[in-house]
Amino acid sequence: MVSKTFIIIIVIIILAFLIFTYLFIYYLPMRTGSLASQKFEEWQKVYGRVKARQMTVDWLKKQLIVKDVGVSEDGTIWIEFRSGIEVNISTYPLGTL
């Protein structure tokens, strides 16, 4: 017979794994993408669009959960996270592309 303590420990381990998985796979990439977008908006007001793009890419390269990042031909910043999620940040005002 399996003890109640053993079952409780297994349940806690499973819950911890699910929470970690949610944080790593979904929440942190989405939060990082959102922060990067905010930083771009702030920096472009001071430095202009081109410099702000590069500053945002440089900031993203320093984030441990980012696998790769770059700027596409149309100026969109693309981010590939270690979890496999990909996020794009438009660097143009709505309706201008």
The pTM (predicted TM-score) of the whole model is 0.77
Asked whether residue 80 is domain-assigned, the answer is yes
Domain holding 68, by residue range, is 4-89
Query: Band of the pLDDT at 71, cuts 50, 70, 90?
Result: very high
Asked whether residue 45 is domain-assigned, the answer is yes
Asked whether residue 94 is domain-assigned, the answer is no
Residue 37 pLDDT exceeds 70: yes
Q: For the segment 40-52, what is each residue's pLDDT rounded down to a tens digit? A: 999 999 999 999 9
- Number of neighbours of residue 21 by Cβ within 10 angstroms: 11
Residue 7 pLDDT exceeds 60: yes
Measuring CA to CA, how many Å separate 53 from each of 7, 13, 46, 71, 90?
51, 41, 12, 8, 10
Task: Go through 87-97 and write b for each residue having 16 or more CB atoms within 10 A of its CB, e for each that does not.
Answer: bebebeeeeee
Query: Band of the pLDDT at 26, cuts 50, 70, 90?
Result: confident
Asked whether residue 26 is domain-assigned, the answer is yes
| Mean pLDDT for the stretch of residues 13-31 | 87
Residue 88: left if φ>0, alpha if ψ -120 to 50, beta else—which one?
A: beta
SS3 of residue 23 by DSSP: helix
Domains contained in the chain, number: 1
Asked whether residue 96 is domain-assigned, the answer is no
